Structure 1
């Protein structure tokens, strides 16, 4: 043991020396590749659905190219496999499975004035072909050569503003089109997308203002802009429907566009665009507060600096590819939730009234079914102040809407997905001591949200049947299991706050998952209100309705009992049976015809490309075989993440896919996100230092990690041998050092003792 420890330290010194320049000057942003996750692996898998454009951490504006006139799939509007660009819009979603936003498309072009994007590679319209060899993206900056028009377009951003720089060819007519009708696919069958009304007003010969009110995934959005140009436009055309107004002042309607014509010259045309989710005045004020001139390079440098500061929360050592995947993952995780409040703290509530946020921010884009699993636990580690801001925004929805967010977009609840997963986010923050939240109010909110029936959570059925019957509520098995976890979270906060009766009630409800366990098949199974089991095939997939399972099958949802893994082991018949079932899960390759588009990244039935599987690898720790968790965690990191456009095996989902890698590459993962316990896996980085807010850094050392060295031989915590297969949140925040000695063969003795299993909770 001592010999291995000395060797490990020797290797560490060598690694430290060879990586001395890796983070020189704290230049973490240099490792971000915004093109990761912008293109699908193949026709049978999902794009990461990320965008490559310019944004700032947690900002309102994401200024990025759209390669589709009516974006739908990928939801970011940009597909790396496309070869033309239709324009640059100011708001985008990152990594989602559903599209929305795409507000205020701007596009520079040359030639004759046109109103519609032309087919790919045509010179008759404003769409332009492009080449990746003449495209660049880095934090806070994007550029591309628009080949059809010989225009170089450059983009940068502040929190509420976008700044464009267009370099037109000399001697050719120069135009910029502003399209307020550009949106997600208006023919999408799931809901109606429609521009209810839009407005463009010419303020003077270098300023345009406007807004649009639009329905879509978010049921009603009001968005405002003010655009100021660095040089006057010589003339303009406004258009609504088939009506064109030459040198018009105002246009209103559902399909409003404007073309601004500039005098040909050698000076680039710049345009700064302030955006607001509140008002026209808000757009003006945001622009005045954040972009006073047209210093494009200065704004881009400031955006880079802002990203560098945010990414500095974790310092790493490893291969160039590992650091690129890691810091791009942090970049994606820090792209949202988005602060939709104006620079003066004004925001629009869920009741559509304008209010002021006492803490200065009001966040939205809460993809909670995805992000509560690992992204929010990551925020509680490295974004504590913002975590308080996230929760305060959630509580504002409760105040005006009656319950906490499920999937909130642009301040509007869209009811997408299932469960009440704002609850574990709040409970996790409370148990970890995140300051800046009124936890008495927060407890009131999580309790009310656990008792009031609403779409996807009809709690009257749960009270009556002690499970959700499929004939009364579709997706019944998945909802029963996920609500049981949320109830466990409520019970933990109730106990800690001294609400004994609530603790008893919600603890009992958290065990209702057992009522859908079928001993004969060995799976959780749909049941009707009369108590009869439904026909069942554990390989059959459900989507988002019409099946007991949500975006998965019976195999993938079998493991969703993070609050009571020992109880799940007992249901199966003990530890050996549980091990065997895990082994089958990772080796059973049968895929029926109904495998849907949300399933990808397969290892047997494990589907890393979607969230229900994300914790399952680490369940081997609970069953006494931690070396198998190490094996599969390393396999996923090494085979399903890369430094290319196809760098994710599924939708990145607002930081969740990235957070899984960030935790796992450091060697641990929050199986139960609100437990303050992290199960140990297979560290891939040679070193990681989490700069805790309390000034006590947590250091992970694994000098031999990477390649075939995927198995833990020995662990030391603060220099002492450590045989537990988990660490706690307190270990991290106390400023501990954990050291992993890695090798190519499993050490089947480490971490297998009865007291080595992760506990349900640290409290």
Structure 2
């Protein structure tokens, strides 16, 4: 090879290496501080945490800024706080209830203050200037102790790195009493244990009941340096150099000699089944003491999973989009150990051949998060469904709000039904369709707190004097019944199909045509008054759930054409939508979950999420384009107050992901997506079998939010929806955008979404 060729080859190789080094990483756009704390005047921010986790992991290792978290800081962390109480291994992302916070560690330096060993004794001030968060990694400087804390995680284990100052005593607290307020949900530690099998190891468990009943959490912690002393307290009892302590308020201070090595590493495995499995989890997932390697591995896992959707847009859009996608991947959570053991609903230990998942916030996530999982996490989505089916076989009906393997009965309806029906209708592999149908049918037929079947069949609606939240229940149960009917049709169960189709129309029985709203009746068929469509309900004692009559009027996703018929016609329907989005009147009391207002539309809570897309059904798609663009612009940003309400295990995030790409599942189980206003220049979705589906938006900008024309796979496209089959086949959906509505695009009857 001559010199010129050698130089040329070297230049090409250098270019390839440089390109690989400078390739933009998806994880670089994730900002875990988005949604972690409301700005002044904002009611809610997201309730997200910034700590270290991996996709759908058992461990979420994150700082808690309150010693006793409550609903206002349900994830444990508030960006506006100034102190850190410790780092616990389990958290919920975006929920309205505080729970988990298991096995909290807190490093500190200096003398132990004997008279102040309570839960607030060793909090430390911190500053965001000395705080970093990225996927799979978190660090902060604890200013009171000059200790740098760094955290990373695997699926079932947390990895801590604490850098202590020289010439100061070094200590680490292990707190098994840390939880949400003991007064909330009757939370209490039933039993706990700490043991010290050797001078490098602490292990134990706690059994705690609260929002989730009778949670068993086991742990095994290994330290890189020997523990030279331990000081254990259980309430008023104190023990020095204990070997084992049993109690129900246990905290321990561990002493270390850091005169030669200032860094102490801690590997903590957790398990819901046994100490032995907690030990196995950490041995399998963190076999060595290489902290940086685990940080890189966590980043690589996130890079792979987040890269399943590639987008082109502004830097701000990329940050919001990929942080939203990151948040959708935090829950559901793996609950099975590396050997397949998991805690069954009957409190026995069973074994699964594939991961068993929990944390199903179904009233929230059935709307957009689970449909998103079927697109970009189909194998995991099947595992989610199979986890629910395993739960059903033991518990007798499907989960409503399942946490740590147990039911807490939060919220109404049984929205595992649309999740499972959707997965089977989309032919996700590995799901027993007959078992799935048995589960959703029985869950829709058996009396339980989320679905009062007996009075449902008897009256054709839920009477408010027999069961509160009756209007919301009636509307939501009617939708669930439609989902059962659809799967019955697929499986050729005609009698069931007819029965559940009839029940799916029960929503009509609460429509008062005189006032034009759904409203409550008693068991005699009388309207219950007075009726105020602006008045809010919470979670009981009123006909509406976390919303009002205006917001719930639109909840008939299975029969939007039927709803239009109740109103009268397309013009009256769109006129009512116009009023909904412009009526600013509010009652004196607004439910805490109601936020992010555009008129009566409240983006901060789920009942409103599909409503902006309903204009498409009545021939005015440009208004859907206007309002979806407005919502994305006004309700999402890159600050700690980046969400307009609780993210609810990724549901607000999933709404943005779909809407930014230009479509949304109004009916989450009919295999159809209604088109809105794409705000990204390009989005490429990776599908099974190596296929991709690309969406492009030519001329898109903050002003150019209106669709001028569209093409699907090169052919002119005027429909205001796309089908699942369009996505499954792969291809390209091209939009041309402009600053003014094209009122001729998508308005024909045949261009409108079907029910």
- TM bucket normalised to smaller: over 0.9
Q: Aligned partners of 2:110, 2:528: CA distance in 1, in Å?
A: 64
* Partner of residue 476, structure 1: 470
Cα deviation, residue 463, structure 1: 1.0
Task: Name the structure 1 match of 2:248.
Answer: 254
Is residue 2:33 matched to residue 1:38? no
CA contact (8 A) 1:238 1:250 kept: no
| Equivalent residue number for residue 230 of structure 1 | 224
- 1:166 aligned to 2:162? yes
- Is structure 2 residue 378 aligned with structure 1 residue 384? yes
CA distance 1:156–1:619, shift in 2 (3 Å): same
Alpha-carbon separation, structure 2, partners of 1:117 and 1:324: 43
Deviations 1:391-426 (A, max 9, x none): 010001111100001000000011000111001111
The 3 A distance-change label for structure 1 pair 32 and 117 is farther
Q: Is the 1:151–1:166 Cα contact (8 Å) retained in structure 2? A: yes
Indicate how the Cα distance of structure 1 residues 544 and 22 shifts in structure 2: closer, same or farther if over 3 A, else same: farther
Residue 85, structure 1, aligned to residue 65, structure 2: no
| CA deviation string 1:177-204 (max 9, x = no partner) | 000000011122xx20000111000111
**Offset at residue 342 of structure 1 (A):** 0.2
Secondary structure at the counterpart of residue 311 of structure 2? strand
In the alignment, structure 1 residue 111 sits paired with structure 2 residue 110: yes
Residue 215 of structure 1 corresponds to: 209
**In structure 2, do the counterparts of structure 1 residues 23 and 434 end up closer, same or farther at CA, with 3 Å as the change threshold?**
farther
RMSD over aligned Cα, in angstroms? 1.5
Residue 114 of structure 1 and its aligned partner are, at CA, apart by 4.1
Where does residue 697 of structure 1 map in the other structure?
Answer: 692
- Cα 1:23–1:712 shift into 2, 3 Å: farther
1:187 alignment counterpart: 183
Residue 726 (str. 1) matches residue 721 (str. 2) = yes
Partner of 1:439: 433
Runs (4 or more) in structure 1 with deviation over 3 Å come to 20-26, 41-44, 114-120
Determine the C-alpha separation between the residues in 1 that align with 2:50 and 2:281: 24
C-alpha distance in 1, partners of 2:404/2:113? 32
> In the aligned structure 2, how far is the partner of 1:676 from the partner of 1:198?
48
Q: For the residues of structure 1 that align with 2:221 and 2:648, how far apart are their CA atoms?
A: 31
2:557 corresponds to 1:559: no
SS at match of 2:698: coil
Aligned to 2:568: 573
Unaligned 5+ residue runs, structure 2? Answer: 1-17
Q: Distance in 2 between matches of 1:271 and 1:754?
A: 63
- Whether the 8 Å contact between 1:69 and 1:117 is mirrored in structure 2 is no
1:143 corresponds in structure 2 to 139
1:244 is aligned to 2:263: no
How far apart are the structure 2 equivalents of 1:117 and 1:586? 54
Distance change (3 Å), C-alpha of 1:528 and 1:644 = same
Aligned pair partner of 2:48 in 34, 47, 50: 50
1:486 to 480, 489, 493: 480
What CA distance in whole angstroms lies between the structure 2 residues aligned with 1:706 and 1:731? 26
Q: How does 1:573-652 map to 2 (within 5 A)?
A: 573-652=568-647
Tell me the number of residue pairs that the alignment of Structure 1 and Structure 2 aligns.
735
Please name the residue that 2:9 is paired with: none
Q: Is the 8 A contact 2:359 2:402 kept in 1?
A: yes
- Measured against aligned partners, the alpha-carbon deviations of 1:204-261 in whole angstroms (never above 9, x if no partner) come to 1110001000001001100000000001021111111111111111111110111101
Q: Relative to 1, partners in 2 of residues 1:498 and 1:528: Cα closer, same or farther, differing over 3 Å?
A: same
Instruction: Note if contact 1:23-1:315 (Cα within 8 Å) is conserved in structure 2.
Output: no
Aligned-pair CA distance for 1:115: 7.1
**Aligned partners of 1:697 and 1:100: how far apart in 2?**
39
Change (3 A) 1:474 1:411: same
SS class of match (1:259): strand
Whether the 8 Å CA contact 1:117–1:127 is kept in 2: the answer is: no
Secondary structure in 1 matching 2:630: helix
Q: Show the counterpart of 1:15.
A: none
Distance 1:117 1:86, change over 3 A: farther
SS, match of residue 596 in structure 1:
coil
Q: Judge conservation of contact 2:400–2:450 (CA < 8 Å) in 1.
A: no
- Cα distance in 1 for residues equivalent to 2:23 and 2:424: 35
Distance change in 2, residues 1:171/1:640 (3 Å): same
**CA deviation string 1:155-176 (max 9, x = no partner):** 0000000000000000011110
Instruction: Report how far residue 25 of structure 1 moved.
Output: 4.1
The alpha-carbon distance between structure 1 residues 281 and 119, as it changes in their structure 2 partners (threshold 3 A), is closer
In the alignment, structure 1 residue 98 sits paired with structure 2 residue 91: no
Residue 117 of structure 1 and its aligned partner are, at CA, apart by: 7.7
Following the alignment from structure 2 to structure 1, what is the Cα–Cα distance between the partners of residues 629 and 49? 27
Q: Tell me the residue number matched to 2:326.
A: 331
> Deviation digits for residues 432-465 of structure 1, max 9, x if unmatched?
1100111111100000000001013110001110
In the alignment, does 2:172 pair up with 1:176?
yes
**Displacement after TM superposition at 1:719 (Å):** 1.1
Q: Any conservation in 1 of the 2:705–2:737 contact (CA below 8 Å)?
A: yes
Task: Confirm or deny that 1:655 pairs with 2:650.
Answer: yes
The corresponding residue for 2:13 is: none
Counterpart of 1:62?
A: 60
**Rounded Cα–Cα distance in structure 2 between residues aligned with 1:54 and 1:45:** 26
Say whether residues 1:754 and 2:724 are aligned partners.
no
Structure 1 regions of 5+ residues with no counterpart?
1-19
Is the CA contact (8 Å cut-off) linking 1:55 and 1:158 kept in structure 2?
yes
Are the counterparts in 2 of residues 38 and 645 from structure 1 also a CA contact under 8 Å? yes
The answer for the alignment partner of 2:127 in structure 1 is: 131
Pairwise CA distance, 1:47: 2.7
1:504 equivalenced with 2:525 (yes/no): no
- Residue 125 of structure 1 and its aligned partner are, at CA, apart by 3.3
User: Are positions 1:206 and 2:206 aligned together?
Assistant: no
* CA pair 24-693 structure 1, distance change in 2 beyond 3 A: farther
Partners of 2:165 and 2:262 within 8 A in 1: no
8 Å CA contact retained: 2:42, 2:641: no
Q: Deviations over 1:652-680 (max 9, x none)?
A: 01111010000000000000000111110
Aligned pairs for 1:412-431 within 5 A: 412-431=406-425
Which secondary structure does the structure 1 equivalent of 2:73 belong to?
A: coil
Q: Deviations over 1:91-121 (max 9, x none)?
A: 000011111000011000012224798999x
Shift of 1:41: 3.4
1:381 counterpart SS class: helix
> Match of 1:742, SS?
strand
Q: Please identify, of 155-164 and 43-52, the stretch whose mean Cα deviation from structure 2 is larger.
A: 43-52
Change (3 A) 1:522 1:218: same
- Secondary structure of the residue aligned to 1:560 is coil
Instruction: Pick one of 666, 671, 676 that aligns with 1:671.
Output: 666
Secondary structure of residue in 2 paired with 1:272: strand
